[in-house]
Structure 1
Amino acid sequence: MMPSYFFAHGAPSIVLEDNEYTKLLKQFKDHTPKPKAIVLFSAHWEEAVQTVGAAATYETIYDFGGFQDELYQMTYPAQSDRSLVEQIQNLFTKHGVENARNETRGLDHGAWAVLKLLYPGADIPVIALSVNRYLSNEQQYQIGKALAELREQDVLIIGSGGTVHNLSALNWRSEEIDEWAEQFDNWIQSKLELWDAEALFQYRELAPHAQEAVPTSEHFIPLLLAMGTGDANRNAKLLHRSYQYGNLSLSCWQFN
């Protein structure tokens, strides 16, 4: 069964960087069987109804400003897969998840920056999926769980976001890690490894520094979505964690 993953996508410039985290992403394909397709939830696509991307060939969305000129020249012309789009919508409907289809939206940087590091050839079908910050954390988990059977079909499911993502707290020149960010991530790690879903659903009330780490939830949601896909076996493994700019968390979780 194909594992599913949560990848932090950091700043858009991550696609140009050479560090331990980007090395892990670049080498990912060397240690993972090539998937039949990739299903990716991006923190940067928010909709009130769970939406499934179905563009024949995705355009590249540059949903950021002030970064290197090179980024605005990059493209990731992945194609969708009509039959898989229909299967995903059927699974959502079966599990009571209201859903819709979008045949025009491209890939935002939460999707293409990660995919360009993982599979730079853009030769694997991609199904982009939205997130909805107004659902409960348990509902997020259930949305992921609804897609779990795709893993048996060699479909790679990815949640792209960030556990500690507070742009107003970043220190662009800092090489020190803020203690509050580590404390929050340590708490998240302990609950994931125990598969304490109930505690994770209440992370805002229970986790230290939750409000500072997660001022808005759209970047945290993909972690719960990816976790939900692993509900059958309930095995979470941290593959990497590091920080940029004081507290921007770069982490990778594998769910078996």
Structure 2
Amino acid sequence: MTPASRAGLSAVLATAIASAAFLATGFVVVRGLADLRNASDVINVTGSARRSITSDLAVWTFTVRSASDTSLQNAYAQFRAAQPALDTYLRGQNFAQGELRREPVSAGPESYSTIETIGGENEEVQRTRYVVSQSYRVQSGEIDRVQAAVGAATSAFVDASTGGVTVESGEISYLYTKLADMRLTLLKEASQDAQRRAQAIAQSAGNEVGAVKTARMGVFQITPRFETSVEDSGSYDTSSLDKDVTAVVEIDFVVR
């Protein structure tokens, strides 16, 4: 083969290779545009569902605490002196077995800081006191009885809070024990709400909603009744007897 023939053949091969590469590239571009077009045929909607609930469990805690700057023995003696008033109060509430739980007694030294005047100057000084404490937990589905017990506790705690003893009462926590079942129901209702929203939007443009492409569950919001504030990480109100439970879902639907 002459040099001219070889040069011509090389040019033909180069052209063929370039054409093939162009065709392959063109196929990728077209395929990419098709994927992009399909990906855009999706509608993103958010659905929500809300139910009103009334708490069915009340939890209340209080702590008896005795402190002495001299010795643990003195702190414990003060602690024991407060027990008759507490026992009388608890018997009067007639808590059923399982409704009242006494935590183990805790006893030991405790460090604290205080400001004292030394040499005419105010200085922060570390001191030690001896503390004996015990916590009580009341838990009942009879919420009105727990509320009544809290109301009756004031005078009993005043009687017990003598000689270095204090009784610290917490707020009642109102809980709902059927929340797991409620979540499933709300998720279903929120998904149905999302589908209705998607259908309304799609039909206004002459389209139809198809299958679900992706779905994301939002956080649950358990808030006091009629309150509208929400938290990014979800909320669980325990201060209110009556609450609203809200579920949110975000769904991508295929549009035909």
Interval containing the TM-score (normalised by the shorter chain): under 0.3
TM (norm. structure 1) is: 0.26
Instruction: Flag the structure with larger Rg.
Output: 2
When you count strand as a share of all residues, which structure comes out higher? 2
TM (norm. structure 2) is: 0.26
